[in-house]
Chains A and B, each alone.
Chain A
Amino acid sequence: MKELIEFIVKALVDDPGTIEVTEVAGDKVTIFELRADKADIGKIIGKKGRTAGAIRTILNAVSARQGKRAVLEIIE
């Protein structure tokens, strides 16, 4: 899942090297913390949050199929 997020996001930003995804596993929910360069945050979120929404849609679908729940947090 971490690789999925990294793969998607790295192609969207100017500086793929600064992309960092950490997984915080919880009882029911796994939180993925996505860190990126300040200049790239806008690209990851997108107009009206559409890009972030698209990433979350895919993340939710894949994790639901595995019987899990996942949350994506974007951190500056």
Chain B
Amino acid sequence: MKTIERTGKSTSAVISGFMKEFNLQLEDFKFEVVDEGKKSLFGLLTSKPTVIKFIMSDISDSISSYTKGILNQMSIDFEKVRVEEKDNTFYVEIEGVKEAGFLIGKEARILDAIQHLVNQMINKQERKSMHLEMDIDGYRERKNQQLVDKMKVVAERVKKTGRSYTFEPMNATRRKIIHQFVEKDTKLQTMTIGRGESKRVIISQAGKKLNQNDTYRNTTRRPPRPHNIKKA
């Protein structure tokens, strides 16, 4: 919370001037009238200006109110929106959603869309790039856990059979989970194939060069990009 004081002729003049100055709307802030001021009567009495204290909300508040606003406009039933800040990342958790499946969308497309919009909003407001992760009733957390579980099985199989494994296309956040997990294992390596929306991660034995038959047929002309090839 941030407070700013402004003075002026009348309550309404001070408020509208303040809104213009910071490009705000009424719902963006709260205010307290410190001094209502006095108007001069035919110059007989000295006039006193109106003093108003404005209370500006901080980033967490604006994240929460923008998210709630979008959900309300979409007529989604939810209990609350919780915002936490940790290591320069804002974690937004939407809790108690009735139609969670709808709000998440196929392959979390709707959740990603809302997350992107809220992220753009704070980037614009703060004039710098900020990281934001949005989750609905622990959905992403569950999905990430499933991915880690699957990865453990895949890692064992790759080590045992020596054959590489290609994951389905994933977004950057989920690919990062795989890369970071495999990084700890000196017997394995990861690389990425494909472009744009169809980027896939391959897990293979460390030091092994992939040939065309090993990689998924949907690769682009560009050769696979090695990520953390370990020295044999």
Contact = CB atoms under 8 A, between A and B. Distances in A.
B25 A16 contact: yes
A38 B114 CA distance: 24
Interface string B90-129: 0000000000001001000110111011001100110000
Q: Point out which of A13, A14, A50, A54 has the most chain B C-beta atoms below 10 A from its C-beta.
A: A54
Interface of A: 3-4, 7-8, 10-16, 43, 46, 50-51, 53-55, 57-58, 61-62, 65
Give the most central of A16, A55, A62: most B CB within 10 Å: A62
Contacts, number: 58
Contacts of A61: 74, 102, 105, 110
B69 interface: yes
Interface residues of B, number: 21
Interface centre among B23, B25, B113, B114 (most CB of A within 10 A): B113
A57 B110 contact: yes
Interface string B4-32: 00000000000000000001010000000
B70 interface: yes
A36 B75 CA distance: 25
A58 B120 contact: no
A31 to B, nearest CB: 19
Given A16-B23, A57-B105, A61-B105, A51 B110 contact: no
- Tell me whether chain B's interface is mostly helix, strand or loop, or mixed: helix
A55 B70 contact: no
Nearest to A53: B113
11 contacts: A7-B69, A16-B23, A43-B120, A46-B120, A51-B116, A53-B113, A57-B113, A58-B114, A61-B74, A61-B102, A65-B102
A46 B181 CA distance: 32
B121 A11 contact: yes
A58 B23 contact: no
Contacts of B121: 11-12
Contacts of A55: 113, 117
A51 B117 contact: yes
A70 B114 CA distance: 18
B74 A50 contact: no
Contacts of A7: 69-70, 73
Contacts of B75: 62
Interface string B63-78: 0001001100111000
